[in-house]
Structures are given as C-alpha cells and as structure tokens.
Structure 1
Amino acid sequence: MQLTMPELTAKVTNAMVSPSSPQSAKIAEQICNRIQKEKLTPGSFLGTVESLTDQYRVSRSVIREAVGTLRGLGIVTGRPKVGISVAQGDIASILQKVLIPQMSQQKGWMEIARFRVVIEIGSMPLVVENIQPDLLNRLQEIVFEQSELLKNQKLEPEFLLQEFAKKDMLFHEILLTAADQNLISQFHQVVVNYFQQGIQHFPPPTDLFVEHHQQIVDAIKARDPILAVERMTRHLQPVLTMISSLREH
C-alpha cells in the first residue's frame, strides 16, 4: 500500500527518534503521529506555540525546538501570530535532509547504494509497461554515446570516467522516468545524487557496461519484464559486489 505524505513524514521522523532522545524530539514524534492518525493534509492547522504548549503540557522552549526540527525536515511550516501548519509535501526535500547525515559515513553510503539497486530492479516491469517511444530512443542513443566514449583513446582516464558516469546516471534516470511513477522517480533522483559521491569506488568503464545497457534496452523493446529484471539485476551485480567488499574492510 502506498504511503500518504503525512504517513511517510511520520515514518521518517519516527526513525530518527530513539528512547534516549530529548523531550523536544519526543514531542516532534507525537506531532507526526497526530498528522498520520488524523490524516492531515498540507495546509492543515496544527495550532499556535501557546496552544501546543497546553496540549502537550511542556514548556514553550520545548515546543519551539520540536517545531524547529519538523520545519527543518519540511514537515511543518509556521508564521508568527498565525501558527503552525502541515507543510506542502516535498518527498525529495525530506529525503535529502535525512540522507545528508547518512552520507558522512561509509555505512550510510552503502545503505544508499543498496537502496538504489532495490528501486531500479523493482521498477523494471513498470518501465516495460509504460515507456514511451521517445524515451526508448533516448536510451538507445546513450548506449551509442557510451560506446563512442570508450573508442576515443585520446581521453584522459579521469575525464572518461566522469563522462561515462554522467551518461550512466542519465540512462538510469530515464529508465525511472519511463516507469511513469512520480514517487519512484523522486526517490531515485535523490538517491543517485548522493550515490555519485562514491564514484571513486567504481572500476574503469568497459565495453561490458555498454553491453549490459544494450541488453536492457533490447529486453524493453521486446516488452519482456522478466528478462528486463534479469538483465538489470546482472547489470547492478557489481554494485552489490562492491558493497560487500567495502563491508569486509
């Protein structure tokens, strides 16, 4: 079942709160639980600092700190003398704020890498079902462009890696766009932005990368979702292998 925006924000915030969290964090969690339970939509009024102070029986400073945390996550918005309301849903913004601290550690980067694999493999049936001819043609063009990059022996290895990686990310971005699921596309865009920070772990690009992309395109052209999933899984296997090797160090 697809989560609503209030439900998603509640889950995100709950994941950040532990039993040892300060009082303001627990109040932030309670506010998110209210948003979820009452299924409040963007713009719904939550109250003033004064009314929330009475409702949760804590000090004004605790409420201000809790609201500040939720505002920073993009969950609520507020104006002086007006009060606090549920913010307009922006999944990408919330994900960015949650993922930024994750990226400061290698373990967090590996989790995001795994996240990317799950999204891309799981979306292939939707890509096969919904892709439009113009996007399919663009995928084929990228395969050709990557092949031409590898043939150019005048390119410096570092430049080649950067340019090849840009086209690789574009290839996968188009795939998720073709799935015609806005939520999936937003998740993927945020994940890929941070995943790129680990480019130094990637091996030099080879013809095998291009071959895998061509095989994925061919499976989509054949309208074969099972084959598309199989080929995407094979293509992303090096990512899982890389993660495993990093975990061992």
Structure 2
Amino acid sequence: MPDLSANTSKNIFSPSNPQSAQIAEKICTKIQKEKLTPGSFLGTVESLTDQYGVSRSVIREAVGALRGLGIVTGRPKVGISVAQGDVGSILEKVLIPQMSQHKGWMEIARFRVVIEIGAMPLVVENIQPDQLDRLQQIVSEQAELLASQKLDPKFQLKEFVKQDMLFHEILLASADQSLISQFHQVVVNYFQQGIQHFPQPTQLFVEDHQQIIEAIKAGDPILAVEQMTRHLQPVLTMISSLKEF
C-alpha cells in the first residue's frame, strides 16, 4: 500500500480546482485511516460524488491527480481502487517536476542530508555484521581509487561518487526501515544529477567514512550523528555556494 503520510498536500496534488485538492486529501486520509490495501475498492465516480457532495468533474479531477501519483487506479464502469503503489514510485512523480528547477535540486540535496543524519541512531541499533563488513570494503576500495595516479580526474570523480553512493545506500539500508531506504534511493538518483558541482574527492572523504564506521562499531549513536554531520558539511557548503547563481 502506498505510504500517504507525506503526500496529503495541496502542493503535491496541485489540481487546478482547490476543491479537487480537498477531495484528493480526503480520499488519501480514508485510505490511510482505514489501512486499505492495494486493490481495495473505493467506489465509482457516481458513488464518490454522492459521498463527498461535489460534482462529477471535481471527483474526476481529484481521482486524476491521485492516479497520476500512483495512489489509485480505475477503469470505466468498474470503479476506483487503491493502486499497487510504493513510496519510491510516488516520490519519483513528485520529484520529476521539482528537479526541473535549480532551486529544486538544492532542496533535494538538503533532503538527503536530513535523511542521512536522522537515520544514524537506527543504523547503530540495527546494522548487521555483513553490512558493516561491506562498508569497510567500500572504504578500502575508495582509498585504492584515490591512490591511483593513472586515472583521469573525471573518471576518478565518477567512480568515487559511485562508491560513495553505494556506501550511503548500504548504510541507510542497515537502518532496517523500508521507508527510509526507499526515500534515500529515489533522492540519491536525483542528487547524482548535480555531480558537476561535486568537489574532487580527497583522502578526507575516506577518513570521514572510516570515522562513521568506527562510531557504529562503538555502538555510539550520538557520535555517529556527529560524524555523519561533519561528513555532509561539504554538501551544505556546496548548496550555500549555489544560492548565488
């Protein structure tokens, strides 16, 4: 079932009629409160018109907005049902228009920072030994990548960023929270579109990753948050510098 807690917003639904936005929110609230599963029948346009006391055109626009987000599905003469959606597909539909603007990319970057820092206590609590081993392996591979003097700087940056994203993906997956992991996977896909803004990687990045691992090994969530905050500070600095453009 789609997670609707972060999507019941007029800014997200954005139908042209404010009344349609209200109906869309009410339908989402119903799905959430009643914990309706994919395939659950919501009604026909006619029955929803009677239920909410609005015109058929308002219902059609509200349903159209929800269908576009992957929250509901419907067929003529059959009716409207809860769709087989997920957080990732819904968030992607929301982010696509957002990413068309320079300001939108910066907001996605901030979003990534908030997710990663906030998830660290859960990472410390839930990470498994094999995940910790994989993180350590990535750090070693990053160190080897930087040690090579024969690589083209652009290729080195591309490969280092790929490894960096994998490090953070495994880290967030170890929080053992599906919602966090799905959000991060989608956000990172868009965040990578700004690779031209990334600084050339240095050994400091590798050391930051190692310090994060050490904090996790120590079972210290406060230290883990501090280390992740320090690690992501260059991202915040980069965002601030882009405001001028």
TM-score (norm 2): 0.90
Aligned 8 A contact 2:41 2:81 in 1: yes
Question: For 1:42-121, what aligned pairs fall within 5 Å after superposition?
Answer: 42-121=38-117
Of 5, 8, 11, 2:5 maps to 8
Q: Gaps spanning 5+ residues in structure 1: where?
A: none
Q: What is the alpha-carbon root mean square deviation over aligned residues?
A: 2.2
Amino acid at match of 1:234: R
The reply to whether residue 203 of structure 1 matches residue 199 of structure 2 is: yes
- From 211, 216, 232, the equivalent of 1:236 is 232
Find the counterpart in structure 2 of residue 140 from structure 1: 136
Following superposition, the deviation at residue 39 of structure 1 comes to 4.7
Q: Distance in 2 between matches of 1:171 and 1:21?
A: 44
Residues matched between the structures, number: 245
Q: Which residue of 1 aligns with 2:185?
A: 189
Match of 2:149 in 1: 153
- Give CA deviations for 1:13-49 in whole Å, capped at 9, x if unaligned: 4332579745544443343344345554433321112
Give the C-alpha shift of residue 63 in structure 1. 2.9
Query: Which consecutive residues of structure 2, in runs of 5 or more, have no partner in the other structure?
Result: none
Corresponding residue of 1:221: 217
Task: Write the letter of the residue equivalent to 2:142.
Answer: Q
Q: Partners of 2:48 and 2:67 in 1: how far apart? A: 15
For 1:242 and 1:51, how far apart are their aligned partners in 2? 52
Q: Sequence identity of aligned pairs in percent?
A: 80
SS in 1 for 2:209: helix
In the aligned structure 1, how far is the partner of 2:171 from the partner of 2:6? 26
Hey, what's the Cα distance between the residues in 2 that align with 1:18 and 1:229? 36
Partner Cα separation in structure 2 for residue 202 and residue 185 of structure 1: 23
Deviation readout 1:196-220 (Å, 9 max, x if unpaired): 1111111101111111111111111
CA distance in 2, matches of 1:18, 1:81: 26
Equivalent-residue separation in structure 1 for 2:26 and 2:203 (angstroms): 53
Give 3-state SS (helix, strand or coil) of 1:84's partner.
Answer: strand
Change (3 A) 1:58 1:120: same
Is residue 6–residue 32 contact of structure 1 (8 Å, CA) maintained in 2?
no
